[in-house]
Amino acid sequence: MGESNVSLIQNYKYLLQFLDCMMAVKVICRLCKGSFPAEDFKLHYEFKQMVCPNCYSGKTQKQQQKVEKKEAVSKPAGWDQVDEYLEKASRTKKQEEQKAQFTKIPGTDQVMCKCFGCKFSFKYNPFKKSPRTCPFCNADIPKLKTFSLL
C-alpha cells in the first residue's frame, strides 16, 4: 500500500513538471532575436508588433547604442581632464532636460506632466504618485523634486 502511494506521488510530480514545461511557451523576439516566455510579450506602440520585455522598455536599443558609441568614440589629440569634465557636465545637463516636465494646475493638488519619451500630457498626482507610468508609452515618471509646484 505504501509503495503505490509513493509511485502515485512521483507520477503526479512528473505530470506537474510536464504541464509546467508545456505552459512556458518560449517565443523568439523579432527585434533582438532573444527567447522569452510568450506571456511576457507586449504590443509596442512604436514598432507596431509584439516585443519582449527588454525591447519594450528600450534596453536592447540602449545596449546597441552603447556598442555603437564605443566603436565611434575616438578622442582627438590634446584631450585632457578638463575636456572630460566639460563633456560629462553637458551630458548630465541634457539628461536633466530630457526628464518629464511638470507644470502646476491652479486650484488643484495635481500637476500636468509631459512625458519626454512620447510628448503625451496627462495629470499627475504627486501625493498619491498616481499614475506611476505614462499612460501612453508606459515610461516611468521621475520623482517630483521641486516643491514649488506643490
| For range 31-37, the mean pLDDT | 88
Classify residue 41 as exposed, middle or buried by CB count within 10 Å of its CB (0-12, 13-18, 19+).
middle
In the predicted structure, residue 21 carries a pLDDT above the cut 70: no
| For range 20-35, the mean pLDDT | 81
Portion of the chain with pLDDT greater than 70, in percent: 79
Other Cβ atoms within 10 Å of 54 Cβ, number: 18
| For range 111-116, the mean pLDDT | 87
Task: Choose the most confident range, by mean pLDDT, from 19-28, 37-46, 75-84, 98-107.
Answer: 37-46
In the predicted structure, residue 149 carries a pLDDT above the cut 60: no
Portion of the chain with pLDDT greater than 90, in percent: 10
More confident site: 108 or 97 = 108
In the predicted structure, residue 16 carries a pLDDT above the cut 80: no
pLDDT score of 148: 57
